[in-house]
A and B are shown apart, each in its own frame.
Chain A
Amino acid sequence: MTRYVLGRVVGVVFILLAVCLFTYLIFFKLSPDPAVMICGKTCTPERIDSIRDVLGLNQPILTQFWEFLKGIFVGRDYGSVHCSAPCLGYSFQTNESVWTMITARLPVSITVAVGAAVLWLLAGVIGGLISAIKQGTWWDRTAMGLALGGVSVPNYVLALVLQFVLVVKLQVLPFPSAPAFADNPMLWFESYIMPWTVLAVGYACLYARLTRANVIDTLGENYFRTARAKGLSRVLIMRRHALRPALTPITTIFGMDFAGLLGGALITETVFGLNGIGKMAADSIAKNDQPVIMAVTLLAAFFVVIGNVVVDLVYTALDPRVRVTST
C-alpha cells in the first residue's frame, strides 16, 4: 500500500512540474514585455532595463523557470526586495505579493465550492434516488426532463437572471458582498445563497441523472434480489443494497468536480462580484498580469491533481474488491 501511495506522489510531482513549465512557456511566448507593463505610463528605457534586470528577464528561459521554481520553496530576491517562500512573485498591476492575494481570496472560493457542493449533493442524489425508485412514472419523467434543462442552461445566464430578479426587481437579497461569517452571518448567507444555487443547479442535474442510472443498475443486480428474498425492511434494502453500491462511482466523480471547483468558479464569482480565486483569475487574464495568471493556473492544477489522487485512494476505501491489501 505504501508503495502505491509513494508511486502516486511521485506522479503528482511530475505532473505539477510539467503543468508549471508548460504554462510558463506559454506566457513567456505570448505576453507583452512584463518590464514595460510594470513600468507603466511614465517610463524611461533605463527604468525598463533595470526592471528587466531585477526580474531576471535577460536570463535564458529555463534559468528563469528554475528561479521561479526555487522561489516557491525557498524564497527569492528581486533586487533589494526579499520575497519569502512560497514566492509567487508580485502582481504587475498592484505590486502586491501574489501569495498574499491568494490567501486572501481562497476562503471565498472555498465557501462557494463547499456550499454549492452540499446543495448539489443533497438535491442530486435524493432526486436521482427517487427517480430511480419510481422509474417510468410521471415523477421520473418530469424530474429527468427538468434535469436535462438545468444542465443545459449556461450558468452565467442563470446567474444574471437570478441576480436581476432577486436583487434588482424583487429586492429580497442584497448585492453579494462576501463578508466573513463571524462578522455578519445574515449577510454572509444572503451573499452566498445565489452563487451556491447557480453552481449547484448544473451539477445537481448531472448528479441526479447519474444517481438515477446507477441506482437503476443496482436495482437489477442479483444481490438486490437476494436482499429482497431475505425479507429485510424496505428502508434497509434501499440504503444498503441499492444506494450504497450506486454511490461509489458518484463519490469519485464528486471528488474530481469539487477539486476543479476549488480552483475558482470563474464566471459565477465574476457575475456576483465575489472576490475569490475565480474573479482574480478573470481579472488577471484580462490585464495580462503574468505572475497572477501563473499562480492561479498552478493552484488549479494542484487541486485537480491532488483531487485525483485522493479520489483513487478513497475508491479503495469504498470498494472492498479494489483493495491492495492481503488477506
Chain B
Amino acid sequence: MTDDLFVVEDLTVTLPTGRGPVDVVKNVSFTVGRDDTLGIVGESGSGKSMTALAVLGLLPRGAQTTGSIRLDGAELLGQSDRELRSVRGNLISMVFQDPLSSLNPYYTVGLQIEEMYRAHRGGSRRAAHRVAIEALERVGIPDPGRRVDHYPHQFSGGQRQRIMIAMALCCSPSLLIADEPTTALDVTVQAQILELLAELQSTTGTGMIFITHDLAVISSIAQRVLVMCEGDAVEYGTAEQVFSDPRHDYTRTLLDAVPRIDDEVPSESRAG
C-alpha cells in the first residue's frame, strides 16, 4: 500500500479526566487513498471526533497520543505545534459540524478565507480577496463578489457550511476531514452539500475522511468504512463488505437499528 495518501497505525489517544486517564481512542488503524473517501461511523462516545482532532494536533491540553500518523510518508505525530501549522489548512483541512459557531461572527467570511490563504501562500490582500471570491463561487454562493463582505450570520445554515468547505479547500489540501458536516443541516440541504463534496473531490482529487453517525450517508459516499465503538475500531473494510457482510456484532446491531425508508419495514418494528 505504498501509494496510500494517509496512513494511521495503532493510534491511541488518552485524555485526563476526573476519574484518571481514559483511552478515548484505542489502537485504531486505517488508510485513505488519494481521492478516496473513508467513512468513520460511530455513535456518541465512540472516539471518532477525537481521532480527527488527533490527526491535526487539536486535542485538548493534557491529551497523550501514541501510534503513527503519516501523510505522504511524512510522520505527523510528535511534530511541534509550529511544524503542524504548515500542515493544517495546507495539506490537511478540516470542516466541522456546526458552521454557525465554527465561523468567527466578528469578521466577514471573505476575511476568514483570506487570512487562511495568506497564511500559507502569502501574497497581497487584493490577491487573497480574489481567491476568496473564487472560492465562494466554486461552492455555489450566488453573487460572490458582494457576499464576500458579509458576516456569517447573514447566511443560511447550508450556505455557511459551503463557506466552511470553500475555506477548507482554498489551499488545495491533499486530505479533507469532515466531522459531521451535515448533521446539523436539513435533509434537503444535506443532499446538496454531499453532492458538492463529491463534485469538489472529483475535480480536485482530494482524499476525504467523512465522520458521521449516519450509516445511510456513509453508504452513499464512502469507499472504505471504519466502524468505531467506545474507542475501538470494531470493523474496517470496503463499504460493500461492511454493509453486506459485517463481521462484528456491534456493526450488525447498528445496521439493524437504522430505520429504513425503502422496501419492507422489518416485521419486528412494524407499527399497528
Residues of A within 8 A of B (CB): 221-223, 225-234, 236, 240-241, 244-245, 248, 318-321, 327
Nearest A residue (CB) for B101:
A222
- Extra inter-chain contacts (17) besides given A234-B81, A241-B104, CB under 8 Å: A222-B101, A223-B102, A223-B103, A226-B103, A226-B164, A227-B104, A230-B93, A232-B85, A232-B115, A232-B116, A233-B119, A236-B115, A240-B115, A245-B105, A320-B105, A320-B106, A327-B154
Residues in A neighbouring B153, C-beta threshold 8 A:
320-321
Contact yes or no, B102 A231, CB < 8 A: no
**Count of chain B residues with Cβ under 8 Å from any Cβ of A?**
31
Known: A225-B102, A229-B94, A230-B116. A240 touches B107 (CB 8 A): yes
B49 to chain A, nearest CB (A): 11
Query: What's the Cα separation between A223 and B116 when bound, in Å?
Result: 13
- Min Cβ gap A91→B in Å is 50
Supply 18 A–B pairs (Cβ within 8 Å), ascending by A.
A225-B58, A225-B102, A226-B94, A226-B103, A229-B88, A229-B96, A230-B116, A230-B119, A230-B167, A231-B87, A231-B116, A232-B115, A245-B104, A319-B105, A320-B105, A320-B153, A321-B105, A321-B153
Contact A244 B106 (CB under 8 A): yes
Closest to A218 in B: B104
Q: Is B247's beta carbon under 8 Å from chain A? A: no
Tell me the smallest distance from the CB of A21 to a CB of chain B, in Å: 42
Interface contact A226-B96, CB-CB below 8 Å? yes
User: Knowing A223-B101, A245-B104 touch, does A236 contact B151 (C-beta < 8 A)?
Assistant: no
A229 & B98 in contact (Cβ 8 Å cutoff):
no
**A222–B105 CA distance with the chains assembled, in angstroms:** 11
A229 / chain B contacts, CB cutoff of 8 Å? 56, 58, 88-89, 93-94, 96
A167 to B94, CA, bound (A): 61
- The smallest C-beta distance from B19 to any residue of chain A, in angstroms, reads 19
**Do A230 and B58 touch (CB < 8 A)?**
no
When the two chains form the complex, which single residue of A222, A233, A248 contacts B102, counting CB atoms closer than 8 Å? Answer: A222
Nearest CB in chain A: distance from B104 CB, A: 4
Scoring B residues 150 to 182 as 1 if CB is less than 8 Å from chain A, else 0, what string do you get? Answer: 110110000000001001000000000000000
Closest to B146 in A: A327
| Chain B nearest Cβ from A220, distance in angstroms | 10
Contact of B58 with A228 in the complex, beta carbons under 8 Å: yes
Closest approach, in angstroms, between the C-beta of A97 and any C-beta of chain B? 48
| B86 proximal to A (CB < 8 A) | yes
B120 adjacent to chain A (CB < 8 Å): yes
Q: Would you give the shortest CB distance from B177 to chain A, in whole angstroms?
A: 9
Residues of B within 8 A of A (CB): 56, 58, 81, 84-90, 93-94, 96, 98, 101-107, 115-116, 119-120, 150-151, 153-154, 164, 167
Give Cα A327 to B152, complex, Å: 12
Distance between Cα atoms of A78 and B84 in the complex (Å): 79
**A-B interface, 7 closest residue pairs, ranked by CB to CB distance from nearest:** A231-B88, A231-B89, A222-B101, A230-B89, A320-B151, A223-B104, A230-B116
Q: CA–CA, A245 to B104, complex, Å?
A: 8
B58 touches A222 (CB 8 A): no
> A residues within 8 A CB of B154?
327
| Closest residue of B by beta carbon distance from A327 | B154
List of A residues within 8 angstroms of B101 by Cβ: 221-223
Q: What chain B residues lie within 8 Å of A231 (beta carbons)?
A: 84-90, 116, 119-120
Please name the residue on chain B nearest to A227 by beta carbon: B104
How long is the Cα–Cα vector from A232 to B98 in the complex, in angstroms?
20
The docked-state distance in angstroms from the alpha carbon of A228 to that of B102 is 11
- Identity of the chain B residue whose Cβ is nearest the Cβ of A323 in the assembled complex: B151
Q: How far is the CB of B253 from chain A (nearest CB, A)?
A: 32
| Alpha-carbon separation in the docked complex, A226 to B95 (Å) | 8
Report the separation of the CA atoms of residues A228 and B167 in the bound assembly, to the nearest whole angstrom.
13
Contacts of B90 in A (CB 8 A): 231
A234 contact set on B, CB distance < 8 A:
81
In the complex, chain B residues whose CB is within 8 Å of the CB of A222: 96, 98, 101-102
Q: Which residue of A is nearest B120, CB measured?
A: A231
A248 CB contacts on chain B under 8 angstroms: 106
* Alpha-carbon distance A76/B128, docked complex (angstroms): 64
Give the complex CA separation of A247 and B75 in angstroms. 39
B58, A236: Cβ atoms closer than 8 Å: no
Which residues does chain A contribute within 8 Å of B88, judged by CB atoms? 228-231
Considering the complex, give the chain A residue whose CB is closest to the CB of B86.
Answer: A231
Q: How far is the CB of A242 from chain B (nearest CB, A)?
A: 10
**Residue contact A233 to B85, C-beta cutoff 8 Å:** yes
- Residue from the set A233, A236, A248, A320 with the largest chain B CB neighbour count within 10 Å: A320
A232→B119 contact, CB < 8 A: yes
Query: Which B residues are in CB contact (< 8 Å) with A318?
Result: 106
Q: In the assembled complex, which residues on chain A have CB atoms less than 8 Å from the CB atom of B116?
A: 230-232
Residues of B within 8 A of A327 (CB): 150, 154
A226 to chain B, nearest CB (A): 5
